[in-house]
Structure 1
Amino acid sequence: MKKLLNPKIGLYWVKLTAAIFFAAVGLPSTAQQAKRNYDIDVIPRPAKVIGFKEVFTITHKTSIQTSNAEALNVAGMLKQHINAISGITLNTGQAKNSSNTINLKIDSTTVSQREGYHLVIHTHQITLSGHDEAGLFYGLQTLTQLIKPGAKSNISLRGCDITDYPRFAYRGMHLDVSRHMFTVTAIKKWLTALAAYKINTFHWHLTDDQGWRIEIKKYPLLQSIAAYRSQTLIGHKREWPHLFDGKKYGGFYSQDDIKDMIQYAAKLHITIIPEIEMPGHAMAALAAYPSLGCTGGPYQTATYWGVFDDVYCAGNEATFTFLEGVLDEVATLFPSKYIHIGGDECPKSRWKACPKCQQRIKDEHLADESQLQSYFIKRISNYLASYNKKIIGWDEILEGGLTPGATVMSWTGEHGGIESAKQGHNVIMTPEKQVYLDYYQSLYPQDSIAAGGYTPLNKIYKYDPVPQVLTAGQAQYIIGVQANVWTEYMPNTQKAEYMMFPRILALAEIAWSPKKQRNLKSFLRRIRAGRETLSSMGINAANNFDQITDSISSGKNGMPLLHLTSVLKNAVIRYTTNGRVPNQQSKLYQSALLVDKTCIVKAGLFTGTKSVQEIYTKKIAISKATGKKVTLVNQPSGNYNPQNTGVMVNGVTGSRLYNDGEWFGFSGTDLDAVINLDSLNLISNLGINVLNYHWQKMWAPVELIFSVSADGVNYQTVYQQNNFPVNGINTVRAKIAPVKAQYIKVKAINQRIIPTGEYGAGGKPWLLADEFFVN
């Protein structure tokens, strides 16, 4: 980021501050014997812990002793940490086996697993053995987490015996700096935090449509043109009309910045993997070098978010000359054995119309544009092999055939990872719906804007990276898991941290800890214990994971049963049904609420007399359709398939964020439903909600038709509508002449194809609908 992003930072361990790590939880004073798998306040949870009634006290007389030269770096880190939090200055030297010592050593015979360690705390001695230098470093993270923050004199540590090692070799976090970029100082702070929780890979997404962020000396226009956009979208992409801030935005990381970052990360045992997007997501590069596109431009660096038709021309030899020149500098800068080349979301429309691309398909005897993408990726992979580098790509690199030796990052779901593992390719699991940190972590309407979806802390924690469909032999190709941070709606450091933390800690635990050791209740307790720690690091962590959440099931006569819950221990829920804010005198929630008339439920979470977290609100509207049977001709799909048609008549309307599991989505097909009211009813009002967000490829129906029947065979059309003008939720409430009916047919005709000139033109539109009303 030019000179602005080149701060002078001192010894990095001092910068952790006095309270980077969690407080110790020792054995109760009444303990008389060792306790196995004792739940200490450490994240990620160690593989094996034995606790016993002994106490080691760090004083001015304590010394740090090392048996290996490699252990000296870790000794220095520990010494500085102890001094920073307590003022105690420890001596360091070669091991002499004296009392009141902390012995650090590398010993691969004690711990056989790479990156593993063995930590033993007795009354007179602490011994920390690492399989390798990384193992010793991770053991230090555990040891320092066991030291209580705020200690000012002597430091007491309860006795324990910890054997620990990682489940996965690859434990990563991705950061997009193309949409919004962050200072070197901020990223270093995040790297420090990642290392504290034993994450060892930082996937740095450096190029995309909205900005090129890495200095490439051979191509100076990448710095002067591609690194900047003329303005930036205000609000969410779905809103229409789009509004922009009118301010030029951009910058880049100099090669000196990058060298500094790589060196800093290496001290933390973090590998930085760069990503240079290709063949799609190339608008910024094309703005600087338009001859690399199929049409020749002109192009401009994108000012809003999405997928763009203009990509690198695969038939143009100059494209490969350019990319090879870029990769020459990237491969030289980054010592990592991997370089990520993207490969995702590459529309083929330009290639289909491009004479050069079609000639390439003919010359290379390729079947189609998908195989042209495979040719593109293989050619880049072969070039990087000359630098002894391997490629990682998103799961779209499977299109047209997977490049030998490629590692697949499975983001669209688990399917790409499963197929790759079955083919014997290494896989890093990063499925969008499970581990994307740009998703909402709260369904409360006051939560700040996010990309979409809903991924709370506990959902990430419950995810297991190894699909059950894989055999043991295939599962060995799942080498790790990663959380992705896409920054379209993260304009500053504070918002980015709110989205990352503490959810990245859940990722850290599923990546490191043995599956059998994971326990959500324990994890949440340890997260709460560490809130003050993240705050002391200057991290703006979210604290809304204790919020009241809900679910709805079917109760008496099909009426909604509203279930409320919170994971906060020793808290109670109080509620009202008249829309008023609950207080400590409001009704105590003890069991699910049967809702048989329209109301607004509000609930508060209380610890003692104090209300904590934000107020929960849910409107439930009861109609003659509520709880009745719904039959669908076409099944919903994708992210918009609640699996239960009862959701269409549960009294709850889907939100404008379409991430609450209430919306039913039909990709290129019609909504064709029948509601059975069980008996003849006099009907005069019919209703449904449909979404209209063209910039999310969500289109209202061409026509909506309500029909009624007394016998389920002969239907009479009673209402038609073909105009849905609202950008967002179109609320249809049709008043009809009173008629007796038992069956209500609802048909919403899909647009089928997104029209030319619209976002996603030529693709299938989504038709999203929710909640039938009959009165």
Structure 2
Amino acid sequence: MCSKTLFSLFFALLFLGKTAAQNTISIIPKPVEMQVSKGYFRLEKNVTISLQNSALQETAQLLRLGIQQIRPSSVSIKNSTPNAIKGISLAIDSNRVVQKEGYSLAISATGIKLIGHDAAGVFYGTQTLLQLIHQQGNLPFVQIKDYPRFGYRGMHLDVGRRIFSVTFLKKYLDLLALYKFNTFHWHLTEDQGWRIEIKRYPKLQSVAAYRNETIIGHKKDSPHRFDGKPYGGFYTQEEVKEIVAFAQKRHITVIPEIEMPGHARAALAAYPQLGCTGGSYQTATFWGVFDDVFCAGNDSTFTFLQNVLDEILPLFPSKYIHIGGDECPKVRWKSCPKCQKRMQENHLKDEHELQSYFIQKMEKYLNAKGKNLIGWDEILEGGLSPKATVMSWQGEAGGIAAAQQHHDVVMCPESHYYLDYYQSLQASEPIATAGFTPLEKVYRYEPIPAILNPTEQTYIKGIQGNAWSEYLVSEAQAEYMLFPRALAIAETAWSPKTQKNYDDFLQRLRLQEKVLKHRKVHYFDRYEEIQARFQTNSNGSESIYLTSSLPNATIRFTEDGSQPNTQSNVWKDGLSIFKPTLIKAQLFDKNGAYGQVWEQWVNVNLATGKSITFKNAPQTPYLPTDAYALSNGIIGTHRYNTGQWIGFRGEDLEIVVDLGKSQSVQEIGISILKYHWQRMWEPTELSFWISEDGKAYEKVGSFKDFPENAINTVSLKVPNKTARFIKVIGVNKGTIPAGEYGAGAKAWLTVDELFIY
């Protein structure tokens, strides 16, 4: 063999060696730069951590604890100059690592050398090192240069609906630190419970911290059922100090949220004079938004909240204090003499400006105490406070508006970053809040809206994942909903946009499962379930395409409703369906069946693939990208954000389908989504019409009763009729009535899957 060939073979093998080594390294979030070399460093049972200065003593102690929790080791810490020993050396050098919170990590035959721009950078480098130690017997030779994309990298947890133990919160903070989050948003007060001790107001502990009972099942269920068991608790100020100190050691800032002016039922139960009606009030026992809020015309309201903040501020070093500001109905303010007087005296044109007055008054108080206000995007209503930071949860519109006004923004849209939403379409999933937010959707979200110019983009300071606890019935269930989706948010928050790749992330996530198992995290492990894509064809058939990211897996399926097994047909490409069919599919890997059976009823009918004309255009977020969403044979589920449901906000449904030719029509039907808790209302009347020429229509029937607080599928028998055109008219509820969620707003009329036989 010639020398040139040997030379080429050597470098090919070297490259393959590096690639293989790199493929066994899982770091989340993905580092900015990483180079893997041939060779491994053996971390001995007797490990020495050397420090450049005592400022890193706390980080070294945590690193020692982390190593000992992973493997039996004797770890000593001593002050010495860098490179003095073969072991782990920690140092700060802002000249060598110029980015804030950045670090460089080098593992070689001479040891492990970690240099940070600052103490935070060194800490994040130790978390990368701990991830490697979790996974590797011997540590690969590697050079890493790393720093974050965003300065604000947050996760949230609501303890108002469900309270979690101090032990669990510490476990949660440890996991956030491992994946380089630097902010914990602690949602401490709600309609259903006040969770922090305020010594000046003892009834917040004895009354507001408890509710008489808790709703069973989902809030959409009717009638509501309750468990009859008192529920509650609160964190003492000493426990709060303990949590904050624990977080600080891990370079996590804790931001407390004290809700105002809405979500105040628990506080009003304790101090009814703070409400517009004076009571009586009770701590809420079910989930929702309530008309009873803090009275904006009562001076004692502001005195109370300022006194509360006077006890809150010393507990939290954070520059931010979160005041909520979301979901504040104006019903009580409109009929409250004190609130109306306040509006007149301050020349406020409506109750939205009164909310702005309320928020700005509290902001001035916080600013005088050296703190900045942060709130949900409703604080934009009536005019944004001068220095306020906006958390954009209702979508991107609030964040865009705030950035364009040169206000700092944290992006946390409900559509992508609410981790209390379902992460699987399987019917067996435990009850969750609402729609479908799978891991891939979380990962692919880009938090800087393209509509912003370069200057405006600088006001997007970071991102946050939110976890509301209505259905987090246990700490294990909280972990199940949070992980691994929190890891997808961590990568977006830290890693460069150009580095993100979902397939690569999955490869690293599979290796991270070892870390999560070692830390006893009850995580969702079926993130590689079968995924389906549907295509409607002009010939009236429906094509299905099934995929999975699970490596070396096979999909087997049946078309007769039977359970797939190892003898069932192998799924290859798309499958076209020409008649009503129940498809079932199962993933198989080397260990056998993986995950649960996927199934889909495909209701191919006369409407499938036919042209539909809309009098009123559907509206976002219920404006599907599939032009045949209403006639593809795939009915939407109660996880209503999958792109199947079509919605009309305040407008009527009026559609016409052209069957192409006159033919016998025996049955017409459609599904209505009735979820008042999501502003989705049934039509006041739903009627069906037929026509031969598309001009003269005959009404063949109508419905006014939709009893289910869920999906109502209605159908009408049409005997001995022929038609080419079918019209469906649904009369929108219009304005949501008083006392209902979203009262005064326009109702959604949400429909899916017209079927005709």
Normalised to the residue count of structure 2, the TM-score between the two structures is: 0.95
Which residue is equivalent to 1:129?
A: 115
Q: Does the aligned pair in 1 maintain the 2:536–2:608 contact within 8 Å?
A: no
SS at match of 2:100: coil
Stretch deviating more after TM superposition (140-149 or 223-232): 140-149
Query: What is the CA–CA distance in structure 1 between the aligned matches of 2:70 and 2:369, rounded to whole Å?
Result: 45
Which residue of the partner structure matches residue 6 of structure 2? none
The one of 57, 67, 76 aligned to 2:61: 76
Relative to structure 1, the CA distance from residue 148 to residue 213 in structure 2 (aligned partners, 3 Å threshold; closer, same or farther) is closer
- Which of 557, 560, 566 aligns to 1:578? It is 560
Structure 2 CA distance for aligned equivalents of residues 128 and 695 of structure 1: 52
Q: Which amino acid is 1:182 matched to?
A: F
Q: In the alignment, is residue 120 of structure 1 matched against residue 106 of structure 2? A: yes
> Taking structure 1 as reference, are residues 756 and 482 closer, same or farther at Cα in structure 2, changes over 3 Å only?
closer
Which runs of structure 2 are paired with 1:339-378 in the superposition (5 Å)?
339-378=321-360
Deviation by residue 1:640-659 (Cα, 9 ceiling, x = unmatched): 22243411111111223434
- The 2-side partners of 1:693 and 1:675 are apart by 26
What does 1:458-537 align with in structure 2 at a 5 Å threshold? 458-537=440-519
Kindly indicate whether the alpha-carbon contact (under 8 Å) linking 2:392 and 2:409 is maintained by their aligned counterparts in 1.
yes
Query: Is the Cα contact below 8 Å between 2:407 and 2:459 reproduced in 1?
Result: yes
Query: Would you say the 8 A contact 1:554–1:560 is kept in 2?
Result: yes
What's 1:46 paired with?
Answer: 31
Matched AA of 1:262: V
- Larger mean Cα displacement after TM superposition, 448-457 or 555-564: 555-564
Counterpart position of 2:203: 221
1:654 lines up with 2:654 in the alignment: no
CA-to-partner distance for each residue in 1:719-769, whole Å, 9 max, x for gaps? 222222333222212112322211101001112133345444433222221
8 Å Cα contact 2:436-2:639 kept in structure 1: no
2: CA distance between counterparts of 1:718 and 1:86?
A: 74
Which position in structure 1 is the counterpart of 2:377?
395
The separation in 1 between residues aligned to 2:455 and 2:422, in whole angstroms, is 36
Superposed CA offset, 1:184-226 (max 9, x none): 0001000000000000100000001111001001111111111
* C-alpha RMSD of matched pairs (Å): 1.9
Separation of aligned partners in 2, 1:262 and 1:77 = 16
- Counterpart secondary structure, 1:480: strand
Partner of 1:669: 651
Partner-residue secondary structure (3-state), 1:146: helix
Tell me the residue number matched to 1:56.
Answer: 41
Q: Give the SS at the match of 2:427.
A: coil
Say which SS state the counterpart of residue 630 (structure 1) adopts: strand
SS in 1 for 2:31: coil
Q: Which residue in the other structure is 2:697 paired with? A: 715
Residues 157 and 468 in structure 2, CA contact (< 8 A), matched pair in contact too: yes
- 1:32/1:53 contact within 8 Å kept: no
Q: For 1:584 and 1:30, locate their aligned partners in 2 and report how far apart those are by CA, in whole Å.
A: 40
Deviations 1:351-407 (A, max 9, x none): 111111111111111121111111111110000112100010100101111101110
SS in 2 for 1:739: strand
Which shifted more, 723-732 or 135-144? Answer: 723-732
Q: Secondary structure of 2:387's match? A: coil
Residue type of the alignment partner of 1:456: P
In the alignment, the residues of structure 1 paired with residue 248 and residue 28 of structure 2 have an alpha-carbon distance, to the nearest angstrom, of 21
Instruction: Flag the 1:28–1:276 CA change in 2: closer, same or farther, 3 A.
Output: farther
- Rate the CA distance shift 1:46–1:124 in 2: closer, same or farther, 3 A: same
Note the alpha carbon deviations across 1:573-602, whole angstroms, 9 max, x for none: 110010111011111111111010111000
* Aligned equivalents of 1:96, 1:232: Cα separation in 2: 57
TM-score (normalizing by structure 1): 0.93
Matched, 1:104 2:90: yes
Give yes or no for contact 2:50–2:85 (8 Å, CA) kept in 1. Answer: no
Maintained 8 Å contact 2:664/2:720: yes
Sequence identity percentage: 50
Match of 2:130 among 144, 163, 169: 144
Using the alignment, how far apart are the partners of 1:728 and 1:96 within structure 2?
Answer: 64
Query: Residue 291 of structure 2 contacts residue 739 of structure 2 at CA under 8 Å; is this kept in 1?
Result: no
Q: Secondary structure at the match of 1:772?
A: strand
Match of 1:693 in 2: 675
Q: Which runs of 5+ in 1 are unaligned?
A: 1-26
Tell me the secondary structure at the aligned position of residue 375 of structure 1.
helix
1:754 aligns with 2:740: no
Per the TM alignment, residue 98 of structure 1 is displaced from its structure 2 partner at its CA by 4.5
Return 525-534 or 448-457, whichever deviates more.
525-534
Amino acid corresponding to residue 88 of structure 2 in structure 1: I
The alpha-carbon distance between structure 1 residues 238 and 639, as it changes in their structure 2 partners (threshold 3 A), is farther
Query: 1:247: which partner in 2?
Result: 229
CA distance in 1, matches of 2:472, 2:617: 35
Question: Is the 8 Å Cα contact of residues 36 and 51 (structure 1) preserved in structure 2?
Answer: no
Counterpart in the other structure of 1:335: 317
Are residues 161 and 404 of structure 1, via their aligned partners in 2, closer, same or farther at CA, if it must alter by over 3 Å? same
Q: Which digits, 9 at most, give the CA deviation of each residue in 1:298-321, with x for residues without a partner?
A: 111111111111111111101100
Which residue of 425, 431, 438 corresponds with 1:449? Answer: 431
The aligned length equals 745
CA contact (8 A) 2:436 2:640 kept: no
Secondary structure class of the residue paired with 2:379: helix
- Pair 90,301 (structure 1): closer, same or farther in 2 beyond 3 Å: closer
Equivalent in the alignment of 2:7: none
Check 1:609–1:107 CA distance in 2 against 1; reply closer, same or farther (3 A cut): closer
Q: Call closer, same or farther: CA 1:60–1:538 in 2, change over 3 Å.
A: closer
Q: Which residue is 2:262 aligned to? A: 280
Cα–Cα, structure 1 residues 61 and 599, in superposed 2: closer, same or farther, change >3 Å? closer
* Higher deviation after alignment, 533-542 or 211-220: 533-542
**Is the Cα contact below 8 Å between 1:627 and 1:649 reproduced in 2?**
yes
Q: Distance in 2 between matches of 1:491 and 1:80?
A: 31
1:672-729 C-alpha deviation (Å, 9 max, x unpaired) = 0000111111112111111333344332211111111111111111122222233322
1:741 is matched with: 723
Kept in 2: contact 1:239–1:693 (CA 8 A):
no
Partner SS, residue 516 of structure 2: helix
What is the alpha-carbon distance in structure 2 between the residues aligned to residue 723 and residue 498 of structure 1? 38
Equivalent residue in structure 2 for 1:629, among 593, 601, 611: 611
1:545 aligns with 2:518: no
Note if 1:764 corresponds to 2:746: yes
Give the C-alpha shift of residue 30 in structure 1.
Answer: 4.2
Residues 70-103 of structure 1 deviation map (CA, whole Å, 9 limit, x = unaligned): 2233333333333443333244331373562322
Partner of 2:417: 435
Displacement of 1:33:
9.1
> 1:678/1:199 Cα in 2 relative to 1: closer, same or farther (>3 Å)?
same
Structure 1 counterpart of 2:148, one-letter code? P
SS of the equivalent of 2:628 reads helix
Greater Cα offset, 280-289 or 699-708: 699-708
* 1:43 maps to amino acid: I
Say if 1:394 and 1:410, in contact at 8 Å, map to a contact too: yes
Give 5+ residue unaligned stretches, structure 2.
1-10
Q: Is the 8 A contact 1:553 1:560 kept in 2?
A: yes
Q: Tell me, what secondary structure is at the counterpart of 1:584?
A: coil
Amino acid at match of 1:106: I
Alignment check: 8 A CA contact 2:669 2:715 kept: yes
* 1:87 equivalent in alignment to 2:72: yes
CA offsets, 1:275-307, max 9 Å, x none?
Answer: 000011111111111111111111111111111
Secondary structure of 1:403's counterpart equals coil
Q: Does 1:67 align with 2:49?
A: no
Native 8 Å contact 1:692 1:698 kept in 2 = yes
What secondary structure does 1:770 align onto?
strand
Deviations 1:417-467 (A, max 9, x none): 111111111100000001100111011111111110111111111011111
